[in-house]
């Protein structure tokens, strides 16, 4: 068995520097262990260093032993392993996911890795699609997670790409691969708990194989549409301009809810999206040049051609995390911020205290556009 994506092209696109290690997130479950197996085979052929991360969320007594088992296997394969411990455990899958990404991305910044491999499968995409559809999503974004995406945490996730080369491979195929190799995997009891929506969806599909087959084909078709939509959005992002003071100008780029969601997040310097209904309301209400609104920590102003977007000064914070000021600026020795008097009104009161910084928003948008435009790497399942 091989990766379900063109793995060589994927790594060349997102982690081309062979001196930098590749990072792999491995919990000890079947999906991530299969990813480790396949990545180990690839790394051996290409002489690429791997660093394997396991997160102990401290929510289960077995977690420490499972992390130790992954560490032992990783050492046997000849790779480095780190167990990261969540010191503020909460019994929530969403909170655990957020903590997991933050912990790993912080370490990736330390070791200089920019690609994090994840073992999401086609089963995960189908389950997510049904959950999102139940919550009212009707466009192609219900088909997720995607092959490549910018890390969801910021600024810890700066320049980090989440890579999922198995999203068109089924969990059954991966388990067969592990059985053929003689590897066993651990089972998280929460994967059987019907208190979680994802598990209820999974159990429902297991009881209705016919519906599972229909849903899987539906999601495969949506994945193709999602790739096209993401490609278009990435191209639109490339039309957006960011001034040296951090002011975003959409120019005459086509305004969409997805575009404004991304720009609001980046203008605010955080990692939280505005509510979908608020974005739609903003688009509907701002029709006259000069109209202004605030949304999710960002300030929008209508122009004759599009929108200007800046940081809402009322919510800006004078904080520096991971050497990043307010999620929008980094220290610079060769570039200086414009004099405050020359900065746009929208951002003048939400910039660093001195001029020894440069804006980071344009780099962030470029990275997101790179992740969105992965059409040539659309996964195809290969079998040996």
Query: In this predicted model, what pLDDT tens digit does every residue of 328-378 receive, in sequence order?
Result: 999 988 888 998 888 888 888 888 888 899 999 999 999 999 999 986 454
Query: Which pLDDT does position 252 carry in this prediction?
Result: 94
Which DSSP string corresponds to 144-181? -S-SEEE-SSTTTTTT-EEE-TTTTS-HHHHHHHHHHH
108: in domain:
yes
232: in domain:
no
Same domain, 73 and 113: yes
Q: The domain spanning residue 185 has which CATH number?
A: 3.40.50.620
**Residue indicated by tokens 């949304």:** 295
Same domain, 87 and 140: yes
How many domains, in total, are found in the chain?
2
Tell me which DSSP letter residue 186 carries.
-
Which residues fall within 8 angstroms of residue 92, CB to CB, at 6 or more apart?
none
DSSP helix/strand/coil, 242: strand
Sign for the CA dihedral angle at 117, 272, 95, 138 comes to negative
Same domain, 104 and 18: yes
Same domain, 250 and 213: no
DSSP helix/strand/coil, 5: coil
- The H or E element containing residue 320 is strand 320-321
Largest CA distance in the chain: 67
Residue span of the structural domain in which 325 resides: 241-368
**Residue indicated by tokens 């590897």:** 183
Q: Quick check: 338 and 245 in contact, CB under 8 A?
A: yes
Beta bridge partners of 357: 331
Torsion of CA 95, 96, 97, 101, to 10 degrees: 110
Query: Which pLDDT does position 377 carry in this prediction?
Result: 54
Same domain, 64 and 148: yes
For residue range 134-175, what is the model confidence (pLDDT) as tens digits?
888 888 899 889 999 999 999 999 999 999 999 989 999 999
**Token pair of 205 as six digits:** 């599909």
Same domain, 77 and 179: yes
Distance (Å, rounded) from C-alpha 40 to C-alpha 44? Answer: 6
Can you list the residues of the chain whose pLDDT is less than 70? 1, 190, 375-384
Torsions phi, psi for 309 (to 5 deg)? -135, 125
Of 187, 222, 257, the residue that ends a domain is 222
Q: How many CB atoms lie within 10 A of CB 60?
A: 14
Query: Which pLDDT does position 380 carry in this prediction?
Result: 41
Q: Quick check: 114 and 89 in contact, CB under 8 A?
A: no
275: in domain:
yes
Query: Which pLDDT does position 198 carry in this prediction?
Result: 87
**Residue indicated by tokens 């509510």:** 275
Same domain, 47 and 179: yes
**Token pair of 38 as six digits:** 């396949």
Kindly report the average pLDDT of the chain as a whole number. 90
Question: pTM of the prediction?
Answer: 0.92
């Amino acid at each position: 068995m091989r990766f379900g994506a063109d793995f060589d092209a994927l790594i060349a696109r997102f982690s081309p520097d062979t001196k930098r290690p590749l990072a792999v997130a491995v919990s000890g479950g079947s999906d991530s262990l299969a990813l480790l197996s396949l990545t180990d085979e690839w790394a051996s052929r290409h002489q690429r260093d791997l660093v394997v991360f396991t997160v102990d969320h401290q929510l289960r007594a077995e977690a420490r032993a499972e992390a130790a088992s992954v560490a032992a296997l990783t050492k046997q394969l000849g790779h480095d392993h780190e167990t990261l411990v969540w010191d503020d455990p909460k019994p929530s899958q969403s909170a655990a996911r957020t903590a997991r990404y933050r912990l790993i991305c912080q370490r990736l910044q330390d070791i200089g890795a920019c690609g994090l491999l994840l073992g999401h499968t086609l089963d995960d995409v189908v389950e997510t699609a049904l959950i999102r559809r139940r919550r009212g999503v009707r466009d192609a974004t219900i088909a997720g997670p995607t092959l490549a995406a910018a890390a969801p945490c910021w600024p810890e996730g700066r320049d980090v790409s989440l890579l999922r080369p198995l999203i068109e491979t089924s969990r059954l195929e991966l388990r067969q691969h592990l059985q053929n190799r003689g590897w066993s995997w651990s089972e998280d009891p929460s994967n059987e708990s019907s208190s979680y929506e994802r598990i209820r969806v999974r159990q429902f599909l297991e009881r209705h194989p016919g519906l599972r087959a229909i849903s899987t084909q539906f999601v495969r078709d949506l994945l193709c549409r999602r790739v096209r939509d993401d490609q278009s959005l990435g191209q639109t992002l490339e039309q957006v301009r960011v001034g040296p003071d951090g002011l975003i100008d959409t120019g005459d780029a086509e305004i969409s809810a997805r575009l404004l969601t991304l720009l609001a997040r980046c203008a605010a310097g955080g990692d939280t999206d505005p509510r979908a209904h608020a974005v739609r309301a903003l688009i509907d209400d701002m029709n006259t040049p000069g109209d202004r609104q605030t949304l999710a920590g960002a300030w929008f102003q209508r122009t004759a051609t599009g929108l200007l977007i800046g940081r809402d000064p009322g919510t800006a914070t004078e904080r520096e995390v991971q050497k990043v000021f307010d999620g929008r600026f980094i220290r610079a020795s060769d570039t200086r911020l414009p004099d405050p008097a020359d900065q746009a009104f929208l951002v003048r009161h939400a910039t660093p205290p001195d001029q020894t910084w440069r804006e980071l928003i344009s780099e962030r948008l470029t990275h997101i556009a790179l992740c969105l435009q992965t059409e040539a790497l659309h996964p195809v399942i290969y079998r040996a």
